[in-house]
Structure 1
Amino acid sequence: MSFSKTGLRKVKISVAIVFYNLTKDDEKQTLENIERLNSIDSFDFSFYLIDNASPDRKLNIKLPVQIKNVYIKHLEKNKGFGAGHNSILEDIDSDFHIIMNPDININDIAGFIKAINYIQINQDVVMLSPLVRNESDGKIQYLNRKEPTVFDLLIRFLGPSFFPKRQAQFVKKENGYSHIQPDDNATGAFMIARTKVLKSINGFDTRFFMYFEDTDLTKRISKKGKVIFYPYFTVVHGWKRENHSIKGISFMVKSMILYFNKWGWSLY
């Protein structure tokens, strides 16, 4: 157990990042995030870097010798995003657990501290999602979404010109990003969860290989307490998407069918 200078136990935070074919940008971003977070004296961090059976560019980050709280795991088979994150679930012993993408940039340290303090104080909150902005232009990524219906997913896939008002409602464009509010469909790009609660539901449903695993997790963990959108902490997201490739579309459709078969088909 580690203690701060005041003698109080530090808040323990675990951070998990799943990599697939590590890029130089991912490596640079990850090291910068680790350095920034480790600079927060009041928190005790542990970082879990997971290589999801990369066929080409396996995880081989060269860590500075002074960093002792980073654990690297190589998986023999890629069973999906959720399974990759679940692979370290038994290893963590933290107060809060962060699920994040390699292309996330955490430079809002003051906001991060506020977010941890908020979820720590509000015992009924089990998961928190931050404000996400584009890497390229700083604009808001509209990821504070409603629960999906088949119609909402279809028109989003067809493009922004199809039923634009309905699409705006789905992502809560008008009033979904200025204040704390319930989050019905949190993004897996960055989540802060209570570790005990996340463990109690066994993390992600690993039947989702890619897509909808975060929507499903939100729905399941919300049965244990509140999931909230917290706009006073901002992360920057590189937004690497593959769902318009043939392979990506196939994964998305399979996951969509699995999700609605599990939770009921909401058409409109």
Structure 2
Amino acid sequence: MTVSAVSSVDHGVVSVSVVVFNPDQQLLAQTFASLAQAGAVLARAETGTSIHLYLVDNGGLPDMRSSLAELSVAGIECTVLAGHGNIGYGRGHNLAIEQASSHYHLVLNPDVDLEAGALVAAMGFLTAHPEAGLLAPAIVDDAGRLQYLCRQYPTLIDLFVRGFLPHAARRLFDARLARYEMRAQINERDTIWDPPIVSGCFMLFRTSVLKKLAGFDARYFLYFEDYDLSLRAHDVARVVYAPSVRVLHHGGGASRKGLAHIRMFLASAFKFYNRFGWKWL
């Protein structure tokens, strides 16, 4: 998209990949509506910026023609990648990453809503900080409460308590969870450099960094692919938590999604620890 406003920054193309498998149609429509709004705000603020959405259909994509039309009106091009079956979250994103020729690439969940100014704030931050290769935003839940989705390296106890214990029982481990979730550092004001792990629901990369990393590790079907990619990103660039960028996340944990998700979670955890090292306590 091209706008007539004068700007000293040319961000080029921002590519976005969204992977879906039997998605909630309403949440997906909200995600696309928020992307359209954020894209429109970005277009008014910057010269020469265009957005290209890769919608990766791992199966069960509902009729989204009205949402895609809304994106088109906002100047956002869309490519639908389909017919490959359910190949997993990371491999789905990799299909888009392989095609992307953008300056920045956003890995986005289909249950995340961007605030209107999110992309403007993100582009401004990355322009001012060329050392940053991966940006994570402030993430709030439906009630507007901050989600602590930056992480220290997880112990097995951390994962079990955070993922599977009921809320009342988790209180017994509050100090441990506070350390794991970096609650003393993460807030809605302060920029934090180099958090070990950031959430895969919104990962904004310089595409050159993401290409250097070869995207997600295809050995993970679901879960821990973002942990793996976060840790590897530190080898080639700086990772930053930038609360000036804000999004809303509607998601939930594996234990609340049934036995199949618990099995996938455990299988991915095994692969993660085998690669990066086991940490029990």
What is the TM-score normalised by the length of structure 2?
Answer: 0.86
Identical amino acids, percent of aligned pairs: 27
Tell me which residue corresponds to 1:20. 21
- Tell me the distance in 1 between the aligned counterparts of 2:55 and 2:84: 14
Counterpart residue type for residue 186 of structure 2: G
Q: Deviations over 1:55-106 (max 9, x none)?
A: xx54643332645611111142212110110011221111110001111111
Tell me which residue corresponds to 2:276. 263
Choose the corresponding residue for 1:176, options 183, 186, 209. 186
- Tell me the distance in 1 between the aligned counterparts of 2:39 and 2:24: 23
Tell me which residue corresponds to 1:232. 244
Choose the corresponding residue for 2:212, options 200, 203, 217. 200
Residue 11 of structure 1 deviates from its aligned partner by 3.0
Residue 201 of structure 1 deviates from its aligned partner by 1.2
Choose the corresponding residue for 1:69, options 74, 77, 85. 77
Name the CA shift for 1:60/1:88 in 2 (closer, same or farther; >3 Å).
same
* 1:1-268 correspondence to structure 2 within 5 Å: 5-6=5-6, 9-39=10-40, 40-41=42-43, 42=46, 43-54=49-60, 57-58=61-62, 60-62=64-66, 63-64=68-69, 66=73, 67=75, 69-109=77-117, 111-135=118-142, 137-156=143-162, 157-159=164-166, 160-177=170-187, 178-181=189-192, 182-244=194-256, 245-268=258-281
- Tell me the distance in 1 between the aligned counterparts of 2:173 and 2:274: 25
- Tell me the distance in 2 between the aligned counterparts of 1:29 and 1:80: 23
- Tell me the distance in 1 between the aligned counterparts of 2:246 and 2:77: 24
Instruction: Assess if the C-alpha contact under 8 Å between 1:47 and 1:71 holds in 2.
Output: yes
- Tell me the distance in 1 between the aligned counterparts of 2:87 and 2:255: 18
Name the CA shift for 1:252/1:150 in 2 (closer, same or farther; >3 Å).
same
Whichever structure has more helix as a proportion of its residues is 2
- Tell me the distance in 2 between the aligned counterparts of 1:27 and 1:73: 16
- Tell me the distance in 1 between the aligned counterparts of 2:76 and 2:216: 28
Instruction: Assess if the C-alpha contact under 8 Å between 1:50 and 1:75 holds in 2.
Output: no
Residue 22 of structure 1 deviates from its aligned partner by 3.0
Residue 121 of structure 1 deviates from its aligned partner by 2.4
- Tell me the distance in 2 between the aligned counterparts of 1:164 and 1:13: 39
Paired residues, what number?
Answer: 264
Name the CA shift for 1:94/1:2 in 2 (closer, same or farther; >3 Å).
farther
C-alpha RMSD of the superposition: 2.1
Instruction: Assess if the C-alpha contact under 8 Å between 1:19 and 1:59 holds in 2.
Output: no
Instruction: Assess if the C-alpha contact under 8 Å between 1:50 and 1:72 holds in 2.
Output: yes
Instruction: Assess if the C-alpha contact under 8 Å between 1:108 and 1:235 holds in 2.
Output: no
Residue 18 of structure 1 deviates from its aligned partner by 0.8
Counterpart residue type for residue 179 of structure 2: Q
- Tell me the distance in 2 between the aligned counterparts of 1:119 and 1:238: 26
Counterpart residue type for residue 17 of structure 2: A
Counterpart residue type for residue 264 of structure 1: G
